Amino acid sequence: MTHHLYLVRHGEQLDAEHGLPDGPLSPRGRRQAEALAERLGGIPFDAAWHSPLQRASETAKIIAAKMPALEPEASPLLFDCIPSGPAPETPSAYDPFFGSVTDEEIDAGRAQMADAVAEFLRSSREDRHELLITHNFVIGWFVREVLGAPDWRWVSINQANCGLTVLTQKPGRPWSLVTHNDLSHLPPELRTGLPEPYML
C-alpha cells in the first residue's frame, strides 16, 4: 500500500516576462501540458487538485482532456505563495528577492502551506495516486518538507514548467522523494521556467 503524490508546476504563462501576476498559458505552455498529459496517461489517479490561478487551471484542463475519468478540483491551498521568510543562514544572494516580500505575504504563505502539508501529506491506508497542479514555490516547500530541510531552503528548490516531482509514502515510513523535476517528457525546446537553462 503506497500513497503517491504527483506534483506538477503549471505550463509556461503567456507574457510572464512582463511581470503579470497571472494569465493564460502561452502556446508553448499548452504544448508542455499536452506532453505531460501523455506522460501521465497510464497512472490510475484517484483525485487531482489544482491552484485556482488561470495558468494552473488551464494546465489541469489540458491534462484532464486526456484522462476523461479525472475531474481536477480547484484548491486554495495550492495558490502561489511565499512559504517563509529568510533565516540568518540564508545566503545574501536571496536578499533582493526577499526584499520585495512583505511580512503579511510571508505570514499568509506560511499558514497556507501548513494547511497544505496537513491536507496532502496525510497518511493513507490504501494505494492512492493523487495529482497536484500548482506553482514553483509550493512544490519547493513540499520537497523541503519531505526532506526535512530548513524552512528557507524552498527558495533554492526549483521546478521547470510542467516538470514532474513524485513523493511516496508506505505504511509506517516517512514520505520519500522518488523523482524531482523530471523533464524526460519535454524536448529541450519545451524546457522553460528554471533560473538557469536546463542543459541535459
Mean of pLDDT values over 21-47: 94
Residue 113 lies in a domain: yes
Residue 195 lies in a domain: no
Asked if residue 166 has pLDDT above 90, the reply is yes
Structural domain for 104, as ranges: 3-190
pLDDT at 195: 77
pLDDT tens, position by position, 113-132 = 999 999 999 988 889 999 99
Residue 185: DSSP 8-state: T
CA separation, residue 196 to residues 21, 22, 139, 185 (Å): 21, 22, 18, 19
- Nearest-5° angle of CA 96, CA 165, CA 158? 15
CATH number of the domain to which 134 belongs: 3.40.50.1240
Residue 165: DSSP 8-state: E
The model's pTM is: 0.94
- Cα distance between residue 163 and residue 54, in whole Å: 18
Residue 186: DSSP 8-state: S
Would you say how long the chain is, in residues? 200
Query: Could you tell me if 136 and 155 are in contact, meaning their C-beta atoms sit under 8 angstroms apart?
Result: no
Residue 197 lies in a domain: no
Number of domains comprising the chain: 1
Average pLDDT of the chain, as a whole number: 93
pLDDT at 22: 85
Residue 83: pLDDT band by 50, 70, 90 thresholds? Answer: very high
Residue 138 lies in a domain: yes
Residue 200 lies in a domain: no
The candidate with the shortest Cα–Cα distance to 155, out of 74, 75, 101, is 101
- Cα distance between residue 3 and residue 13, in whole Å: 30
